[in-house]
Chain A
Amino acid sequence: MAQPAHDPSRHSYYVGDALYQELIADFDVVRRDDPTIQDLAERDVFRGLVEREARLLDRLQFKEWLQLYADECLYWVPSTPNGGDPRREIAVMFDDRRRLEDRVFRLATGFAWSQAPSSRTVRMVSNVEVFASENPDQRLVRSNFLIHEFWDDETRALAGWAGHRFRKFDGVWRISAKQVNLLVCDQCIRNPSIIL
């Protein structure tokens, strides 16, 4: 995979219509019934990456978490159960690299009242399935998640499934896009301010 022409932490030239079309098509793949990769060793590679992401988020290690992502990346929480088309619909969250870093920056300002004090979370991920792609340096991974979040006076469960699009850069698998499908994506959610 080529290096970006502009620093995606500062500029967003890469988020255009072609990228959206590819995104929608790729996350249609993880809605199919049959994962294409049955090899357990390969599945374990991706299971390990998804588990590592969950662990870093639980521990609020956002800098290390961001390093799991490709330089040009997307983080997408649709507001409809079928994912929808983010070009025509508001998403719960739709971040490129810069806005993901905004999200992390905001939490570190000390003035993000919705996370002062921070939520405590514990995440379980399971049912990991891996889908091949025409591009040998790309895999789509589907997994289920259950996040228990303690904040203020309540411990709640946020459940759903995630799609990860992994791409290989210099021999390393990194997350180029993540789609988080919350069960309650189209419902009013109290304080939706943790990173999912």
Chain B
Amino acid sequence: MTQMERVETVRPRNFGVSYDWDELVQEDRVHHLLYTDAAIFDAEMRHIFGGTWVYLAHESQIPNVDDYVTAKLGLRPLIMTRDSDGIIRALYNRCTHRGTTLCRFEKGNKRSFQCPYHGWNFLNNGKLRGVPWAEGYGENLTRDPKFNLAQVPRVESYRGFIFGTLNASAPPIGEHLGPIRKPIDEWLDRNPGGKVVVCEANRIKYKGNWKLAYDNSGDGYHVLYSHRSLLETENRFVDENTEKGMSYYRTAPDEQPMYMQYMGNGHHFKDKRPNLQPRNGGLWAIESLHPGMEHVEQKLRRQFGDRADALLDLAGSEPVNINVFPNLSLLGNHIQVFQPVSFEETDTIWYGTRIEDVDGTIGEDALNDINTLRMRTQEGFPNFGEVDDVTNFEQIQRGLRCQEDEWIYMNRGLGIPGRIHTLEDGTIKAPATDEMFMREYIKEWKRLMKAEPHLTIQREP
């Protein structure tokens, strides 16, 4: 972005109601208003989904010049474009004339967007290109930057993940991600060329606050109970196929080598990889049963011999939860996005990923088999696991209507000597079922809610 561009500071027009954040967010518990109060939700759309970096889209969704995909920054509708100069932009999907959304399709390839209401036409870099019957205006509107589309002023990518923020003083995205970059790097680098390509999604809505999903994203305590039907299903042929899926939660999960790690700035990481046998094929060995897995395994073993184990692992669900505050979770092979709709409604989008044969050592036929199987493994959890979680999220939202019973606890592990360790880099490690990550991320949430963010939008000059 050049200095020529026009930056507008957004002045708050509504000072709302004030809260005693230190009373609502305590060391071991939070108040139900964090989940049930519409005014707090509105404030979150400015302080969180405006004031810090938010995941918007993946570069593989707009690989070519003039590609676009629609997205959201909090509730703000966006058009993510790769403009005609190849620059990735997050345009407000809002005509500068009367406020109409310009683009109603999810994705496509367009050099310009014409408003369906009065025909104003904008280039995919946001500049107003022309208006019908321009002589009806006393000036040439295309020369006045205030009629160019607003756009998110800070848009930066980290290895294909595109983030945006309205906060002019936010640090660069790499610095903001900090230590969570390492698990992101490892998640990418297990794939050929360190790349994944987004390919459609499982999409689930629930009637509950968005933070219920983020609370859950690192929660090792719920697995055995919320996912009991999944664990029983994955292990229904237990005589032949023991220890599938997340069975390692069944016995003393806090004594397993897996762990939880808080990474700063609200990000956290659940690493279950240490539970696997440390060898190629260790991941494949615990993969649940999926359509076509025996067929593909037989073919790959015949063709690739010892190398087949490593290739089969590419179809297996990587046992990590990499949670990037406030709305991104990399888990298995999914790119999951939490999309707030209202204080009591949330969309969760589980984008699938496939791999590419970057160095040509897999071959078209085997690549097709691996990716096909990778689609089937990714469909497993949303179908047999997530549906039970979101049901429990909805029932939390309902339980919180008992408004006199005010508190929600996150005190598991708090104050127990020797359980939680702060490492040299400032990250914090705890056993797998610990609620330490909830206590830590909500401190970051509180810090953002207390701060008055310096929000800006930008227009082309």
A89 to B388, CA, bound (A): 24
> For residue B388, which residues in chain A have a CB less than 8 angstroms away from its CB?
111-114
CB pair A16 B375 closer than 8 Å:
no
Known: A12-B291, A13-B294, A17-B368. Contact between A191 and B387, CB under 8 A?
yes
Which chain A residue shows the least CB distance to B352? A90
A109 to B388, CA, bound (A): 13
CB pair B368 A87 closer than 8 Å:
yes
The total of Cβ contacts below 8 Å across the A-B interface reads 142
- Within A154-196, the residues touching B (CB, 8 Å) are 186-193
Question: Is B298 interfacial (CB 8 A cutoff)?
Answer: yes
Interface 1/0 per residue, B337-377 and A, CB below 8 Å: 00100000001111110100000000001001101100110
Question: Is B215 interfacial (CB 8 A cutoff)?
Answer: no
Question: Is B293 interfacial (CB 8 A cutoff)?
Answer: yes
CB pair A106 B289 closer than 8 Å:
no
Which chain B residue shows the least CB distance to A96? B291
In angstroms, how far is the closest chain B Cβ from the Cβ of A80? 6
> For residue A105, which residues in chain B have a CB less than 8 angstroms away from its CB?
232-233, 236
CB pair B233 A14 closer than 8 Å:
no
CB pair A86 B392 closer than 8 Å:
no
CB pair B379 A94 closer than 8 Å:
yes
Question: Is A29 interfacial (CB 8 A cutoff)?
Answer: no
A89 to B379, CA, bound (A): 10
In angstroms, how far is the closest chain A Cβ from the Cβ of B57? 16
**Stretch with Cβ within 8 A of A (4 or more), from B39-47, B135-143, B182-190, B199-207:** B199-207
Question: Is A91 interfacial (CB 8 A cutoff)?
Answer: yes
In angstroms, how far is the closest chain B Cβ from the Cβ of A196? 12
CB pair B295 A13 closer than 8 Å:
yes
Question: Is B292 interfacial (CB 8 A cutoff)?
Answer: yes
- Within B88-116, the residues touching A (CB, 8 Å) are 106
Which of B202, B232, B289, B372 is within 8 Å of A92, CB to CB?
B202
**Stretch with Cβ within 8 A of A (4 or more), from B28-36, B223-231, B266-274, B405-413:** B223-231
CB pair B392 A113 closer than 8 Å:
yes
Known: A10-B237, A17-B368, A89-B375. Contact between A80 and B200, CB under 8 A?
yes
> For residue B387, which residues in chain A have a CB less than 8 angstroms away from its CB?
112, 114, 191-193
> For residue A90, which residues in chain B have a CB less than 8 angstroms away from its CB?
199-202, 350-352, 375, 378-379
Known: A17-B368, A87-B372, A188-B349. Contact between A102 and B384, CB under 8 A?
yes
Please classify the interface of chain A as helix (H, G, I), strand (E, B), loop, or mixed, using the class held by over half of its residues.
loop
Known: A86-B372, A87-B371, A189-B203. Contact between A12 and B292, CB under 8 A?
yes
> For residue A15, which residues in chain B have a CB less than 8 angstroms away from its CB?
291-292, 295
> For residue A20, which residues in chain B have a CB less than 8 angstroms away from its CB?
372
Question: Is B390 interfacial (CB 8 A cutoff)?
Answer: yes
> For residue A187, which residues in chain B have a CB less than 8 angstroms away from its CB?
203
> For residue A89, which residues in chain B have a CB less than 8 angstroms away from its CB?
199-200, 352, 375
CB pair A113 B229 closer than 8 Å:
yes
Question: Is B391 interfacial (CB 8 A cutoff)?
Answer: yes
> For residue B237, which residues in chain A have a CB less than 8 angstroms away from its CB?
10
Which chain A residue shows the least CB distance to B288? A102
Question: Is B310 interfacial (CB 8 A cutoff)?
Answer: no
CB pair A94 B291 closer than 8 Å:
yes
CB pair B202 A11 closer than 8 Å:
no
> For residue B347, which residues in chain A have a CB less than 8 angstroms away from its CB?
188
CB pair B229 A190 closer than 8 Å:
no
CB pair A98 B289 closer than 8 Å:
yes
A13 to B348, CA, bound (A): 33
Q: List 11 A-B contacts (CB under 8 A).
A: A14-B295, A16-B295, A17-B368, A87-B368, A90-B199, A90-B200, A93-B383, A94-B375, A109-B233, A188-B347, A190-B204
5 smallest A-B Cβ distances: which pairs? A15-B292, A90-B352, A114-B387, A188-B205, A96-B291
Residues of A within 8 A of B (CB): 6, 10-17, 20, 74, 79-80, 84, 86-96, 98-99, 102-103, 105-107, 109-114, 152, 186-193
